[in-house]
Chain A
Amino acid sequence: MGDRGEFFPCGSRRLYGFLHEPRATEAPLAVAPAAVVFVHPFMEERQDAHPFLRSIAGQVSARGLWAMRFDLHGCGDSEGEWEDATVASWLDDIRAACDFVRAQAGVERVILCGLRFGATLAALADIGGPRPPLAMIQPVVKGTNYSMDMLRAYLAAEMVLTKKAGVTRDALVERLRLGQTVNVFGYHLTAAQFDGIRAIDLSRTLASYPARSLVIDVVKTPTARASNELTALVAAMGPGATLARAVEPQPLYVEGKVHLTRAEQVELALLGWLEALDQP
């Protein structure tokens, strides 16, 4: 059937996914048949990361594995509104996507790969069976920091438009407590989302992760310092975790000046890890 976009069920709603069938255009990876499911980053990061995730998925399928990108509840083309989604519903979506790709591809083994908060959700998802191999590209480790970044985005947008900061972060948190939403670049962040995100701390949740895992630290220059947070995360995850470093000229989730559609170092790190996945 070839590469295709289609809706698939997740409870009472439908999610949009794009399947990349395995192609024999490159030397196949020496790994047992599997499907790699990609979880996108959030809000505007999803838009800017799209070409990179598309390219990575294409590379994986060119090396003989199934790959699937999909949109979480209230994101991208999937059904539902952003403000109705929660961390729990997003985790359900990942399970549904894995079930769908298993049925479509006829493979049982699923490998999860995510970028930013998509990586965080991939790490938390229960997709049935033992914990899957997990690749995380610049994961959000601490939800407290990420949630504050979202509020900061609101304040920055307001400042650019009105030339002054009208409210404080505390006032925004208070708004959420009162049941209102906070507009983060057009997305209406809810209290349930805010609290769900704040509760996440991967360094605790992923301690002694039982399957193989990869954390990719994306840096701008070869001499850039490694992320302390990601280094600590990998140490906490135990001996099955690998920390890789990818030097990319621009961030993968922010619009850059140069028109890039591939993150070659990230692709190399992921493909290299997949190649070694079944080796002792």
Chain B
Amino acid sequence: MEKAVRFTNEKGHTLHGILHLPDDPATMRSVGMLWLSAGQKVRQGAWRMNVTIARRLAAMGIPTLRFDYRGIGDSEGEAHHGEMVMDLYGFIQSGGFSGDAVAAGQFLTAETGVKSLVLGGLCGGAITGLFAATALPNVFGHVVVDLPVTISSSARQRYLENHAAELLRSRPGETDTVIALYLKKLTDAEAWRRLLSGKSDYSLLMEAARIKSRAQLDRVLPRLPAQARAAVERLLHGVLPPVEPESPPTPVDPALAAQMQVAGEVKNDLVEEVFQQVLSRGQRVRFVNSSSYHPTFMGYFGNTALHGNEARWRSSGIELSVVPETNHIFSLEHSQRALFEAVESMVTQAA
């Protein structure tokens, strides 16, 4: 059974949500799930992920609440925390919505009478849950999906917009997509008109082509004698510079950290801090990473906070799984299944 509910946060804003309850009240367990939205998106999440998870949990007897943060979706409050979407991300990554999550946890506990809570969410929802858990007394554990471990800002966004080369060097895996998009424009009359009138910016395409060429070159170069290799490198210096790796080396080296600061993005030290607080309260943490995000997670958090030692994680109540061939929104069937299993496994432990 699903109920439209509303409650207030510490600022007095009315927040709207949906409370999912078991159809048969007799089957209700003593654990509740607070499933948190990523942030900018409304409470259903990508592909209605949040609705599906909540329905599956309610069918298991776990009352589940999902809601809109202040200013988002149907909820009251200020929506703007800076001019750009990236600024909103930064606001969330620094715990901006944790007060709303605390209010939601209190509401869920009072409304259903559950004894303990599991908090979970994707991306901004994951980090909001960690922040909120330090102010809620009855949290058993967390399902933390693609936890953001850096701080976003519009400064970084502007920098990348103005530096196409930097953008693609940091994400060389996107070159094929960029080239395909431009190829599609060959049949678009409007694109030709813009090109001929000088209004098109093809710097991104040029950079994508350069990176593709460099990748081809990197396949050939190792077969050449060292002297010839050095000569080719000298000749192509400035034309086909080496491509930076797609994900940061692990652990993060100071040079890369400095480069990220220039780009306006830095490691989010708050994540480790709040994570340690969560552990010190005896709360369990189940990390679930998409394969596309896992390297970033490890580079900026996992290798330092988790010490790279699986036995030690497990003894502290930490689990980590990586879902192969998965995008950030877990939209493919196999990743949807893996996500459901991870969530349901945690609530089963809690119950």
* Chain B residues, Cβ within 8 Å of A187: 47-48
Q: Is the CB of B2 within 8 A of A77?
A: yes
Of all chain B residues, the one with the shortest Cβ separation from A161 is B327
A6 to B5, CA, bound (A): 8
- In the complex, which residues 177-192 of chain B have their Cβ closer than 8 Å to any Cβ of chain A? 177, 180, 190
Whether the Cβ atoms of A259 and B4 lie closer than 8 Å is no
Q: Are B2 and A157 in contact (CB under 8 A)?
A: no
Task: Report whether A161 and B325 are in contact in the complex, using a CB–CB cutoff of 8 Å.
Answer: yes
A256 within 8 A of B: yes
Scoring B44, B48, B327 by chain A CB atoms within 10 A of each residue's CB, the highest score goes to B48
With A159-B177, A160-B327 already in contact, the answer to whether A77 and B44 are too (CB < 8 A) is yes
Contacts of A6 in B (CB 8 A): 4
Say whether A186 contacts B329, CB under 8 Å. Answer: yes
A16 to B18, alpha carbons, bound, how many Å? 10
A94-133 residues with Cβ-Cβ distance < 8 A to B are: none
Query: In the assembly, what is the distance between CA of A5 and CA of B4, in Å?
Result: 6
B176: Cβ under 8 A from any A Cβ: yes
**Distance in Å from the Cβ of A23 to the closest Cβ of chain B?**
14
Task: Tell whether A84 is near chain B: CB-to-CB under 8 Å.
Answer: no
Residues on A with beta carbons closer than 8 Å to the beta carbon of B326: 161
Residues from chain B with Cβ under 8 Å of A50 in the complex? 42, 73
Question: Is B176 touching A163 in the complex (CB atoms < 8 A)?
Answer: yes
Nearest B residue to A250 by beta-carbon distance? B85
Smallest beta-carbon distance B133→chain A, Å: 26
Chain A residues near B88 (CB-CB < 8 A):
259
A186's partner among B2, B161, B331 (CB-CB below 8 A) is: B331
Q: Is the CB of A51 within 8 A of B79?
A: yes
Q: Which of A77, A186, A257 contacts B18 (CB 8 A)?
A: A77
A216 to chain B, nearest CB (A): 20
B46 touches A186 (CB 8 A): yes
A224-247 CB contacts (< 8 Å) to partner B: 225
Whether the Cβ atoms of A259 and B173 lie closer than 8 Å is no
**A47 CA to B176 CA, complexed, in Å:** 28
Interface string of B19-43 (1 = CB under 8 A from A): 0000000000000000000001111
Query: How many residues of chain A get a CB closer than 8 Å to chain B's CBs?
Result: 36
Instruction: State the Cβ distance, A82 to closest chain B Cβ, in Å.
Output: 7
B83 contact from A18, A44, A258, Cβ within 8 A: A258
Q: Dominant SS at the B interface? A: mixed
Interface of chain B residues 71 through 117 with chain A (CB within 8 A):
72-74, 79-88
**Chain A hits for B47, CB < 8 A:** 43-44, 185-187
Establish whether residues B331 and A258, one from each chain, have CB atoms under 8 Å apart when the complex forms: no
Q: Is B157's beta carbon under 8 Å from chain A?
A: yes
**Minimum CB–CB distance for B350 against chain A, Å:** 25
A259 to B47, alpha carbons, bound, how many Å? 21
Also in contact, A259 and B2, with CB within 8 A (given A183-B332, A186-B46): no
A183 to B326, CA, bound (A): 14
Chain A 158-180 interface residues, beta-carbon cutoff 8 Å to B: 159-163
Contact A255 B331 (CB under 8 A): no
Most buried by B among A77, A79, A157: A77
Whether, in the assembled complex, B49 has its beta carbon less than 8 Å from a beta carbon of chain A, the answer is yes
Report the bound CA distance from A213 to B150 in whole Å: 48
Given the known inter-chain contacts A77-B2, A258-B84, please indicate yes or no for A5 contacting B74, CB distance below 8 A: yes
With the chains together, A43 CA to B48 CA distance in Å? 9
Contact B79 A47 (CB under 8 A): no
Q: B310-349 CB contact bits vs A (8 Å, 1 = yes)?
A: 0000000000000001110111110010000000000000
Q: In the complex, what's the smallest C-beta–C-beta distance from A20 to chain B, in angstroms?
A: 10
Does A259 lie within 8 Å of B80, measured CB to CB? Answer: yes
Determine if B13 is an interface residue (Cβ-Cβ < 8 Å). no
CB distance from A8 to the nearest CB of B (A): 10
A259 with B83: in contact, given A77-B44, A161-B292 (CB under 8 Å)? yes
The answer to whether A261 touches B79, judged by C-beta atoms less than 8 angstroms apart, is: yes
B6 CB within 8 Å of chain A? yes
- A7 at the binding interface (Cβ < 8 Å): yes
Q: Is the CB of A257 within 8 A of B84?
A: yes
B16 touches A (CB below 8 Å): yes
Q: Tell me the complex Cα distance, A156–B327, Å.
A: 12
Q: Inside 8 A of B16's CB, which chain A residues have their CB? A: 5, 18
Known: A50-B42, A159-B176. A183 touches B333 (CB 8 A): yes
Nearest residue (CB) in A for B82 is A259
B57 in contact (CB, < 8 A):
no
List of B residues within 8 angstroms of A16 by Cβ? 4, 18
- Name which of A186, A187, A261 has the most chain B CB atoms within 10 A of its CB: A186
Docked CA distance A6–B16 (Å): 10
A54: interface (CB < 8 Å):
yes
A196 within 8 A of B: no
Residues of A within 8 A of B (CB): 4-7, 14, 16, 18, 43-44, 47, 50-51, 54, 75-77, 79, 82, 156-157, 159-163, 183, 185-187, 225, 255-259, 261
What are 8 A-B pairs at a CB distance below 8 A?
A: A6-B4, A50-B42, A161-B325, A163-B173, A183-B333, A186-B331, A186-B332, A257-B86
- Residues of chain B whose beta carbon lies under 8 Å from any beta carbon of chain A: 2, 4, 6, 16, 18, 40-44, 46-49, 51, 72-74, 79-88, 157, 161, 173-174, 176-177, 180, 190, 292, 325-327, 329-333, 336
Told that A163-B176, A185-B331 touch, could you supply 7 new A-B pairs with CB distance under 8 A?
Answer: A77-B18, A77-B44, A161-B327, A183-B331, A185-B329, A255-B40, A259-B84
Q: Which 9 pairs of residues, A with B, have the shortest CB-CB distance?
A: A186-B47, A186-B331, A5-B4, A259-B85, A50-B42, A261-B79, A47-B41, A6-B4, A5-B16
